[in-house]
Chain A
């Protein structure tokens, strides 16, 4: 048996390995190399220019704006999504009426979970079409329609959500929150359900209120899930390419009005496919990766706590 082990191992690994190295690992490595050149894409001739691309990047005001927008998203997307998801998860699982048996979830908890999770399975393209209609700049858009109906807004002077430099980024953030909360609700619910009921009952017997129960019992026991969610959402916050390029004004992958919704991903794609600055785009790819790694590492480190076994 032993003598046939190695051909088998090699036979199973070789095809996936070739695919993986060709399309994933090698491009990753190449990006670092190309980021040090003035490569223009179509021509195969380029010269080594050291870290010039990087120093240009840090003097590029559009890139700095894009980086700043990503940082805003990095802060707000995880905070809002996780808070909402925790709140809903708590409501769904232990927010119900107290009965003889102790703490209960609300009635219809299963229904809420099904509905809330649904946006997660929708393609980002569907979100783009849907929210393009919701945010329409006249009163035929759903959001403006609702506001006009509630008399919160003048029908003749509707808010141009996606054309207004002050609202555009927050509108996109709201889409991602809308789509993401259900996923984390389900994630946190699963974690909450693995917490033994007796712990809650003990807390209630000791006279703890609901919010005390939440902060002193539930949250510490959920810490691991919150931490993973934070990292996961940070990675999402570094992207936003599809929403920005599909919904915001501006030639070549959106980002308007006047770069007020520019993110690093759209600027990278514009430099690459519109301006043909491949080397420059590679340098941006490296920066995106570095920021992602730094954020993940910092999150995991800053939120490290003793693991509670139960």
Chain B
């Protein structure tokens, strides 16, 4: 595996500066082998800092741009806002970001809890009960995660259309749930497997019904798993793009614009090329970014754990 890596890296085009840096540093790394950690330490700090700046700087720059006016944005990348006003944020909110924000919230208030509920129900039954066809259903549910969305897109569109649910919240909610089920089931299945059986048995002996055991005993015990997969689903559905683009188009001129935030923001961006209110566009972006930033900074450990847990399995 190492030889194709070096080969294709040598063929790297210039524009991707980050990758070039890494190559140089790697060569440097092997040269100062004998000098111990000191030189390497400087190297590692240097490159780590450069990449950190490459992440933070564009984000700060764009936040700053939300306070500039159009001519300041157009004149130079290094212009400074002449006066600090939040006007662009108000314009962005009125231009649609506010509506898109609310649309997304409406969908997610239903889709995320229902995804968690249905996913856990399926995972629990499949992990804890023996019945004929158990394996079949498990692979049926989990197998769906293997295929790209594009495989289903065309028939999905007509399915939703025939149900009369194009550009409706309920349609998108159902589709989000359905497409989040494979991963949620998969993750919760392995989680329910690891929970001790003794408490479950005690609840059953005390006369609790299966349903009651699930909701009052098993779900509370599964909280850490639910949190991880919940964060995964929140971010995944918040950032979902291809499904709303396909399913949430206005069906007629009188149909309400029910775009999701990501989709609406891109539409605004594409229109801005003509309408030209860049500060409002950047302000809209900041509005869309803030909740994620806040969630991330407050729960960064859980977010990192929740997202990476998905790949490790």
Q: Which residues of A contact B (CB under 8 A)?
A: 1, 4-6, 8-9, 11-13, 15-17, 19-20, 22-28, 30-31, 34, 41, 75-76, 79-80, 83-84, 87-88, 91-92, 95-98, 106, 108, 111-126, 128-130, 132-134, 138-142, 144-146, 149, 161, 167, 170-171, 173-174, 177-178, 181-183, 186-187, 190, 209-212, 215, 225-226, 228-229, 232, 235, 238-239, 241-242, 245-246, 264-265, 268-269, 272-273, 278, 281-282, 284-286, 288-289, 292-293, 296, 302-303
The reply to whether B47 and A91 form a contact with Cβ atoms under 8 Å apart is yes
The reply to whether A146 and B152 form a contact with Cβ atoms under 8 Å apart is no
B195 at the A interface (CB under 8 A): no
CA distance A211 to B26 in the complex (A): 9
Complex interface: chain B residues within 8 A of A5 (CB): 129, 131, 210
Using known A-B contacts A106-B44, A186-B304, A289-B151, determine if residue A129 contacts B265 with beta carbons closer than 8 Å: yes
CA distance A217 to B8 in the complex (A): 24
Contact with A along B72-88 (1 / 0, CB 8 A): 01111111000000000
The answer, among A91, A173, A190, for a CB contact under 8 Å with B48, is A91
The answer, among A11, A117, A123, A128, for a CB contact under 8 Å with B269, is A128
CA distance A36 to B270 in the complex (A): 35
B105 at the A interface (CB under 8 A): no
The reply to whether A80 and B159 form a contact with Cβ atoms under 8 Å apart is no
The answer, among B141, B282, B296, for a CB contact under 8 Å with A129, is B282
The reply to whether B181 and A16 form a contact with Cβ atoms under 8 Å apart is yes
CA distance A153 to B22 in the complex (A): 23
Using known A-B contacts A115-B56, A228-B312, determine if residue A84 contacts B18 with beta carbons closer than 8 Å: yes
Stretch at the interface among B31-39, B221-229, B250-258: B31-39
- Please give me the residue from chain A that is nearest to B171 by CB atom: A23
CB distance from A46 to the nearest CB of B (A): 12
CB distance from A122 to the nearest CB of B (A): 6
Given A12-B122, A28-B152, A268-B150: 19 more A-B contacts, CB < 8 Å: A6-B131, A9-B125, A24-B179, A27-B151, A28-B147, A31-B155, A79-B5, A87-B22, A117-B304, A121-B307, A125-B288, A129-B285, A134-B58, A174-B15, A211-B33, A242-B241, A285-B151, A289-B148, A302-B1
CA distance A286 to B152 in the complex (A): 9
Using known A-B contacts A9-B129, A140-B77, A272-B154, determine if residue A125 contacts B146 with beta carbons closer than 8 Å: no
The reply to whether A13 and B122 form a contact with Cβ atoms under 8 Å apart is yes
User: Can you list 9 A-B contacts (CB < 8 A)?
Assistant: A20-B144, A23-B175, A27-B152, A28-B155, A84-B18, A97-B38, A117-B304, A121-B295, A140-B75
The reply to whether B55 and A12 form a contact with Cβ atoms under 8 Å apart is no
CA distance A254 to B119 in the complex (A): 36
CA distance A28 to B292 in the complex (A): 32
The reply to whether B65 and A133 form a contact with Cβ atoms under 8 Å apart is yes
CA distance A12 to B213 in the complex (A): 13
Complex interface: chain A residues within 8 A of B48 (CB): 88, 91-92, 106, 108, 112
The answer, among B16, B181, B204, B292, for a CB contact under 8 Å with A122, is B292
Complex interface: chain A residues within 8 A of B303 (CB): 117, 121
The reply to whether B44 and A95 form a contact with Cβ atoms under 8 Å apart is yes
Using known A-B contacts A26-B159, A113-B304, A139-B77, determine if residue A178 contacts B41 with beta carbons closer than 8 Å: no
User: For residues 141 through 167 of chain B, which have their beta carbon under 8 Å from a beta carbon of chain A?
Assistant: 141, 144, 146-148, 150-160
CA distance A108 to B179 in the complex (A): 38
CB distance from B295 to the nearest CB of A (A): 8
B197 at the A interface (CB under 8 A): no
How many residues from B make CB contacts under 8 Å with A? 117
Using known A-B contacts A9-B125, A15-B118, determine if residue A140 contacts B153 with beta carbons closer than 8 Å: no
Complex interface: chain B residues within 8 A of A183 (CB): 307-308
Complex interface: chain A residues within 8 A of B245 (CB): 245, 269
CA distance A108 to B48 in the complex (A): 10
Q: Which 10 A-B pairs have the closest CB atoms?
A: A145-B77, A95-B44, A209-B33, A91-B44, A23-B178, A125-B262, A30-B155, A27-B152, A27-B155, A123-B239
CA distance A83 to B1 in the complex (A): 12
CA distance A272 to B9 in the complex (A): 36
The reply to whether B52 and A171 form a contact with Cβ atoms under 8 Å apart is no
Using known A-B contacts A24-B179, A80-B9, A149-B78, determine if residue A121 contacts B296 with beta carbons closer than 8 Å: yes
CA distance A285 to B148 in the complex (A): 9
CB distance from A204 to the nearest CB of B (A): 10
Using known A-B contacts A12-B124, A211-B33, A232-B311, determine if residue A27 contacts B159 with beta carbons closer than 8 Å: yes
Q: Which of B155, B181, B238 has the most CB of A within 10 A?
A: B155
Complex interface: chain B residues within 8 A of A212 (CB): 33
The reply to whether A235 and B131 form a contact with Cβ atoms under 8 Å apart is no
Using known A-B contacts A31-B151, A79-B8, A282-B154, determine if residue A126 contacts B44 with beta carbons closer than 8 Å: no
CA distance A97 to B43 in the complex (A): 11
The reply to whether A112 and B29 form a contact with Cβ atoms under 8 Å apart is no
The reply to whether A79 and B9 form a contact with Cβ atoms under 8 Å apart is yes
The reply to whether A140 and B266 form a contact with Cβ atoms under 8 Å apart is no
The reply to whether B154 and A278 form a contact with Cβ atoms under 8 Å apart is yes
CA distance A173 to B15 in the complex (A): 10
The reply to whether A112 and B62 form a contact with Cβ atoms under 8 Å apart is no
